[in-house]
Amino acid sequence: EVQLVQSGAEVKKPGESLRISCKGSGYNFANYWIAWARQMPGKGLEWMGITHSSGSDLRYSPSFEGQVTISADKSISTAYLHWSSLKASDTAMYYCARRIIAVGATSGGGFDSWGQGTLVTVSS
């Protein structure tokens, strides 16, 4: 069974750094990409960016470029989302999701499995 398990809820102060994680199991992590999405309280999903399992190929939404850093360590089947200096406006639920592409395709696709979410609260 494919599973993405995210790290637990975090409460941080503005200006602090934070890294949350997403560990994949039940499939060959090395063959897939992992995306991150934000959901602010009462709002919709926002696509943030995506990393190949190797961590060597990354894409960011223009809205999030420079605001967060996405990485991955395929040796431990884990993807990460990192902030160097949190703001109150980063308060949200964050989800990771596995990219699925059509057989024979090399681009596109959607997301077929999701983590349970990590709630990040930033407050002074």
Partner 1 sequence: QTVVTQEPSFSVSPGGTVTLTCGLRSGSVSTSYYPSWYQQTPGQAPRTLVYNTATRSSGVPDRFSGSILGNKAALIITGAQADDECDYYCSLYMGGGIWVFGGGTKVTVL
Binding site residues, partner 1, CB under 8 A: 35, 37, 44-47, 50, 57, 59, 61, 95, 97, 100-102, 107-117
Identify which of residues 15 and 109 has a Cβ nearer to partner 1 in the complex: 109
Q: Give the residue with the Cβ less far from partner 1, 70 or 122.
A: 70
Looking at beta carbons only, is 6 or 78 nearer to partner 1? 6
Q: Find the shortest distance in angstroms from Cβ 89 to partner 1.
A: 19
| Shortest Å distance, C-beta 117 to partner 1 | 5
Asked whether 19 and 72 are in contact (CB, 8 A), the reply is no
Contact (Cβ atoms closer than 8 angstroms) between residue 112 and residue 100: yes
Cβ burial 41-72 (10 Å sphere, 16+ → b, else e): eeeeeebbbbbbbebeeeebbeebeebbbbeb
Cβ contact 85:32 at 8 Å: no
Min dist. Cβ of residue 75 to partner 1 (A): 23
